[in-house]
Chains A and B, each alone.
Chain A
Amino acid sequence: MSLDLSYSAEQSELARSVDGLCRRCGAGAGFTGTDPLPEQYWRGLAELGVLGLGTAAGGGGALEIAASMEQLGTHGAPGPLVGTFVAGALLDPAEMEPVSEGRQLASVGQPPLMPWATRAGVFVEIDSSEAWLSRPAGAPEPVDTTAGEPWGRVELERLRPLGDATAAVALGQTATAAYLAGAAQHLVEIASQYATDRVQFNRPIATFQAISHPLASCSVSVAASRIMARAAACALDNRDPDAPAAAARARLSATASATASAYQAHQTFGAIGFTIEGPVAHVSLRIRQLSLQPIPVASARSRVLESLGI
Chain B
Amino acid sequence: MEFDWAEEDLSYRSELQAFLAEELPGRWEGATAVLGSADNAEYSRRFAGLLAEKGWLTPHWPTEWGGTGATPWMLAVLGEELWSRGEPRGPQYMNVNWIGPSIMAHGTVEQCQRYLPPIAAGDVIWCQGFSEPEAGTDLASLQTRAVRDGDDYVVNGSKIWTSYGDIADHCYLLVRTDPRAERHRGISVLLMAMDSPGLVVRPIPGMVGEHSFTELFLTDVRIPVANRLGPENEGWNVVREALSFERVGAPRWARAALVLDETVRGALEQGRSIDPMAVEAVGLAKTACEAARVLCYRVIDERARDLPPSPHANVARVAMVQAERLVADACAAIEGNEIMRYGSDSDLQMRKSLAAGVAAGTYEVQLNLVSRRHLRLPKG
Which of B208, B339, B354, B358 makes the CB contact (< 8 A) with A262? B354
Question: Does B10 lie at the interface of the complex (its beta carbon under 8 Å from any beta carbon of A)?
Answer: no
Closest to A294 in B: B337
Contact status A210-B277, CB under 8 Å: no
A146 near B342 (CB under 8 angstroms)? yes
- Which residue on B lies nearest to A263, using beta carbons? B354
Per the bound structure, the CA–CA distance linking A144 and B358 in Å amounts to: 26
Assess the A292–B205 pair: CB atoms within 8 A.
Answer: no
Q: Is the interface of A mostly helix, strand, loop or mixed?
A: mixed
Partner of B131, one of A110, A145, A267, A271: A271
- Looking at A147, A292, A301, the one whose CB has the most chain B CB atoms below 10 A away is A292
Which of B205, B325, B337 is in CB contact (< 8 Å) with A113?
A: B337
User: Are A270 and B364 in touch, CB under 8 angstroms?
Assistant: no
Which candidate, A16-24, A74-82, A277-285, is the interface stretch facing chain B?
A: A277-285
A196 located at the interface, meaning its Cβ lies under 8 Å from any Cβ of chain B in the complex: no
Q: How far is the CB of A215 from chain B (nearest CB, A)?
A: 12
B85 CB to nearest chain A CB (Å): 22
Looking at the assembled complex, report how far the CB atom of A75 sits from the nearest CB atom of chain B, in whole angstroms.
Answer: 18
With A201-B138, A271-B161 known to touch, is A298 a contact of B277 (CB < 8 Å)?
A: yes
Cα–Cα, bound, A201→B336 (Å): 42
Asked if B340 contacts A145 (CB within 8 A), the reply is yes
* Chain A residue at minimum C-beta to C-beta distance from B332: A292
Closest chain B residue, CB of each to CB of A269: B358
Within 8 A of A (CB), among B330-349: 332-333, 336-343, 347
Which among A113, A201, A270 has the greatest number of chain B C-beta atoms within 10 A? A270
Q: A209 vs B367: C-alpha distance in the bound complex, in angstroms?
A: 12
**Nearest opposing residue in chain B for A145, CB measure:** B340
Complex formed: what's the CA distance from A273 to B333 in Å? Answer: 25
Distance, CA A201 to CA B138, complexed state (A): 6
Residue interface bits A232-270, CB-to-B below 8 A is 1, else 0: 000000000000000000000000000000110011001
Given A113-B337, A293-B340, the answer on whether A266 and B204 have CB atoms closer than 8 Å is no
Decide if A275 touches B342 in the complex (CB within 8 Å).
no
- Whole-angstrom distance from the CB of A293 to the nearest CB of chain B? 5
User: CB-defined interface of A82-120 with B at 8 Å, one 1/0 digit per residue?
Assistant: 000000000000000000000000000110010000000
Q: How far is the CB of B184 from chain A (nearest CB, A)?
A: 12
A296 adjacent to chain B (CB < 8 Å): yes
* B41 → A minimal CB distance (Å): 20
Check B136 against A143 for contact (C-beta < 8 Å). no
A-B pairs, top 5 by smallest CB distance, nearest first, are: A200-B138, A144-B342, A210-B364, A145-B340, A276-B205
Chosen A-B contacts, 20 in total, with CB atoms closer than 8 Å, are A113-B340, A145-B342, A146-B339, A146-B340, A148-B342, A151-B340, A200-B141, A201-B137, A201-B138, A210-B368, A263-B325, A263-B357, A271-B131, A274-B358, A275-B213, A276-B207, A281-B207, A284-B354, A285-B207, A298-B278
Residues of B with Cβ closer than 8 Å to A?
131, 134, 136-138, 141, 160-161, 204-208, 213, 275, 277-278, 325, 332-333, 336-343, 347, 350-351, 354-355, 357-358, 362-364, 367-368, 380
Given contacts A144-B343, A199-B134, 18 further A-B contacts (CB under 8 A): A143-B342, A144-B342, A146-B339, A148-B342, A201-B141, A209-B380, A262-B354, A270-B362, A271-B213, A273-B358, A274-B213, A274-B355, A274-B358, A276-B206, A292-B340, A296-B336, A298-B278, A298-B336
